[in-house]
Amino acid sequence: MATAQTIIDRAYKLHGAVASGASASSAESADALVALNAMLESWQIEKLMVYAVQDKTYTLASSGTITLGAAGNITTRPDRIEAAFIRSGDNDYQLIPRDLAWWVGVTDKTVTADIPTDFYYEPSYPQGILNLYPVPSAANVLHVMMWTPFTAFAAVGTTVSLPPGYERALAYNLAVEIAPELGQPPAAVERIAMSSKAAIKRANSRPISSVSEIASMGHGRFNIFTDE
C-alpha cells in the first residue's frame, strides 16, 4: 500500500532530483502534494480513469430537488450521474436522464407522482442539484449511480489503496506534472506516463449499448441495395 510520500519520492527520483534510498525534502514534498492532489482532481473528470461506479441512496420526501455534496441529501457530489432508479418494494424503476433544454421545457414542475420517471442533474458547486420529475409523493428509495471520486491525500503520510496500475501511473504522471519546477523529465518517463494512463483506461473501458428506434418500427430485415 503506497503513501503520498512514496509516490512523491518516486516522481522526484524519475527526475534524478532525489538519490536512491533518499526522500524529498519537506518543502519539496509539500509542493508535490499540492500537484498530486490537483492531478487527482483532474482525473475525476476523465471517465476512463474512474475505476468504479458507486451506488448512493436517499429516501425520498415530498421534494423533487435532491442536493449532492457536503451537507447535502447525498453527501457525495459527482461531476456526472451515470444512471438513477427508484426502488419501490421489490421493484426498480429506471429514471430517464434529461438535459437542460428538456428541463427548461417542462411547463409545470410541481406535478406529483408516486414514482418519478425523469431526472435532470445540474453539477453546480459545491452542491450538485438533482431534479426529479414528476415530484415524488411516496417515500421510495432513490438510487444514484455515480463515478467513485478520487480522495485527496490529506498529508504526505496518507496511505492509499488503488487497483493495479494506479500507483505506477500516479508516480510517472506526477513526474510530468512537476516538470515545470524541475525541468523536462526524460523522454522515457513521459512515454511511460502516457502508456500507464492508457493501460488504466483500457481496463476501465465498458461496452456501450446502442439502441435504435428503428428496431421497434417493424419486423424483418432491410435491404440497403433494394431499399426494401
**Among 46-60, 128-142, 200-214, the least confident range:** 200-214
Could you tell me if 148 and 50 are in contact, meaning their C-beta atoms sit under 8 angstroms apart?
yes
Number of domains present in the structure of the chain: 2
- 127 and 169 in one domain? no
Question: Above 70 in pLDDT, residue 75?
Answer: yes
- 129 and 74 in one domain? yes
- The pLDDT mean for the chain works out to 86
How far out from the chain centre does Cα 17 lie?
33
Considering 103, 118, 147, which residue would you say is the last residue of a domain?
147
Mean pLDDT of 82-105: 96
Q: Residue 118 contacts by C-beta under 8 Å, 6 or more apart in sequence?
A: 95, 96, 97, 98, 102, 132, 133
In a domain, 121, yes or no: yes
pLDDT in tens, 141-164: 999 998 877 788 999 999 988 888
Residue 13 in grid coordinates? 527520483
CATH of the domain at 195: 1.10.3230.20
Q: 162, 128, 199: which is closest to 52 by C-alpha?
A: 162
In order, the DSSP letters of 183-227 are -PPPHHHHHHHHHHHHHHHHHH--------GGGGG-SS---TTTT
- 155 and 141 in one domain? no
Domain of 18, in residue numbers: 2-48+151-204
Helix (H) or strand (E) holding 37: helix 26-43
- The pTM of the full predicted model, rounded to 2 decimals, is 0.66
Question: Above 60 in pLDDT, residue 88?
Answer: yes
The whole-number pLDDT of residue 121 equals 97
Q: 165, 173, 170: which is closest to 189 by C-alpha?
A: 173
Q: What are phi and psi of 74, to 5 degrees?
A: -115, 125
pLDDT in tens, 164-214: 888 999 999 999 988 877 777 778 888 888 888 888 788 777 665 554 444
DSSP 8-class letter at 22? -
Calpha distance 9→167 (Å, rounded)? 12
In a domain, 213, yes or no: no
Calpha distance 227→134 (Å, rounded)? 42
